[in-house]
Structure 1
Amino acid sequence: MTTTWDPALYLDFDDLRARPFRDLVARIRAEDPRRVVDLGCGPGNMTATLAARWPEAIIDAIDSSAEMVAAARANGVPAERRAVEDWTPAPDTDVVVTNAVLQWVPTHRELIPRWLAALPPGATFAFQVPGNGAAPSHALTRALAAQRGVTVRGEPDVAAPAEYAELMSAPDLAAEVDVWETTYLQRLTGEDPVLHWLGSTTLRPVRDALSAEDYADFTAELAPQLRAAYPPSADGTTWFPFRRIFGVARLPR
């Protein structure tokens, strides 16, 4: 089943979700790339920062979601709809950025070394994926979805940082590899803020699998569980741990 996305809901947390993207791109040392690819560009809000950093480069924006591609184009980004699994780098692709995408691609462990091997000398491949699979937010979601016969993909398919380091450090690639993880504490506010946060990403496949009535029942049952797992502080703030795994591989020239 193809997951449908709501660009407006996703952008409700634009600044918070952009933090890992900015931290990832800050580790890329490319100075004058010919072509920069945003693989899984979403609504294109962060693609513009790549164009601003490398104004002379050709910027390719690719996403598998029709809704996200339409939103990116509305934002002036000439995005192309294509499955990540079907993408192959052009000969002049010097930078690839894939942000919070690979967790949705079960074969990404096979794709990463294949993409690296197809990139030209000196190219950089940079990715970021969520690492919250074991967190209460996601464990509760998976358990409740399973009761309704729905399997939640995504973060359970993410590897440990050491495995990504091994994938990108194959002897035949001779890449310079940097892998790290960061846990951000996201300040969420409002009514059922964790449910609202999950609704823009993790819950999308559940929403697609259930009828509107069943999804309303699902969220009504999930909401109090999330409130108990993430109680607000005295001022109404909910501090939500947001663990991310990063990897940057730079091929030798």
Structure 2
Amino acid sequence: MKAIEISNLTVRFGGLLAVDDFSFEVRKGDIHSLIGPNGAGKTTVINTITGLYPVSGGSIRVAGKEVLGSSPPAISRAGVARTFQNTEIFGEMSVFENVLVGSHCRHEYGLTAAMFRTPKYWRVERSMREKARDLLDIVGLSADSDKIASSLSFGKQRALEIARALASEPKLLLLDEPAAGLRSGEISHLNEALLNLRKQHELTILLVDHVMKVVMSISDEITVLNFGRKIAEGKPDVVRMDKEVRRAYLGDNPDRA
């Protein structure tokens, strides 16, 4: 089964063609990386999947259902979660509270139960808190649970954003440059965490990143964009040796690059 099916996607911003007749698929349960030089259109693709950008043409299906025209909250409820290039945490809240925010889009009580603190309210709240603690443990932030989120190192803020996204119980996780700015040891921990998350939570992961230590180590498939068009696709070893990919990253004179 396909987790994502994108067909002939075209995105324009005025006279700029950001994504040009782009098609690709992500198999359920895979870690699929979308790579390319700066400005290739990678984040634009993620923003269209999550409903943030309008499209000029094409189709986006998630788990077999068309999502074009759906609102971001509706797409989230359909099982899609994401992180951003720039960390988007609630800096004044605690680490634990940040993860709880992600859980509340899935809570199973209504306004009346919340107002009157019914048994169902407390039961659901306990469950969400237990899940938040489990997620913090998975991403290595258990010891930081009570800290103010803005006090965390950049690498830990990245991990917190992933934990918060997972709190919404997605089946499809979109990660936009999660390794950007991380040190070598943090990158190794990220690789291990993503592989474990895929297995434990039966996740499909679409990864956008420039850090090849992540992309080449954990990807099942890689798709390469350049100037909004797909130029290569395949297993990591195949993509690594592709001449068009090398040209896109290094220019026409790789020796000089």
TM-score by length of 1: 0.27
TM-score by length of 2: 0.26
